[in-house]
Amino acid sequence: MAGSPVVSALAETAAEYLRLRRLLGHNLDEHHRLLPRFVDYLDSIGAATVTVEAAVAWSTDGVDPATTNGARRMMIARGFARHLAGLDERTEIPPLGLIPMRQQWRPPFLFSATDIDTLMGAAGRRRWPLPSATYMTLIGLLVATGMRVGEALRLEPDDINHTDDVIVVRESKFGKSRLVPVQPATIAAIDDYLTARDRLLRVERTTSGVFVSSRGGPLIYPVVQQVFRHICDRNGIGTDAARPPRVHDLRHTFAVRVLTGWYQTGENIEARLPALSTYLGHRDPRSTYWYLSAAPELLAYAAAKLTHLTPAPASEIEL
């Protein structure tokens, strides 16, 4: 059609990249805002693909070094470059650390046992039966395992090992899979949900994943965030907190609960910390160290016992 804007090959690839990530349940608000700008920059300089020089130039152009904006731009440019490298061998993937992330680690909101009971009860009382079952099971799984939300949303029925009471988390945050041992009751709850899901779903299911939306498709991260925030707000959870609780804080709560239990029973936390790191899917136990600062008794323990264990810089914390 005459007058239609010409879309470059890079722009088409970027749109497909965003579509694929959105289907996987990623929160892409910032990507949708910034990635087209990066592509426009590449087109403006005549670049056919991503180069380290172009990524650095775009990430630092007009950005205050005292903010995290440059690092976040580079994160988006690097993610796109990793995708593009599979399509164009000329692509250069910017290495980590070119632009350090200058930010403070956000203290997590720790849910009390009462908060969790309230969350589960409110999720089970949602207006429609299928969303009630879905969110009650999802929240229960996050509470019981400390999994990342995206990991739970990507679960397939074949990832549930009934023989060994293990959940297989495939292709997690750093491209690695891991085994998550769970209680038999957790496996039973997922099985009950799958039975209820297939009975309550009124449309054809279009996803092979465990958790589904009311339309039969995959449950996506932004919707989970919105529903979770609504449940918290409506039930007064975290009303006095400095920052509103997030669904990801269930993961923090799990880790702190485990560490606090070890502390109270006299376990050697320093020796067991690597095991918790592996369970949570951290690459480095130093990231798990940060959870020691989330509860007063753990902070005291960290100061007394772990003074030689250097925590990871805030920019390298794996959540």
| Catalytic residue list | 148, 173, 248, 251, 282, 291
In 51-112, alpha helices (H): 52-60, 69-85
- Let me know: does 209 contact 219? Beta carbons within 8 Å: yes
Please report where in the chains the tokens 């279009």 appear, as a residue. Answer: 206
33-42 contacts, C-beta under 8 A, 24 or more apart: 34/72, 34/73, 34/76, 35/76, 35/80, 36/11, 38/14, 38/73, 38/76, 38/77, 38/80, 39/8, 39/10, 39/11, 39/14, 42/10
φ and ψ at residue 140, rounded to 5 degrees? -60, -40
- Let me know: does 57 contact 42? Beta carbons within 8 Å: no
Question: CA-to-CA distance for 67 and 188, rounded, in angstroms?
Answer: 47
- The dihedral region occupied by 46, where left means phi > 0, alpha psi between -120 and 50, and beta the remainder, is left
Question: CA-to-CA distance for 205 and 56, rounded, in angstroms?
Answer: 44
Question: CA-to-CA distance for 15 and 36, rounded, in angstroms?
Answer: 9
Reduced to 3 states, what is the DSSP secondary structure of residue 218?
strand
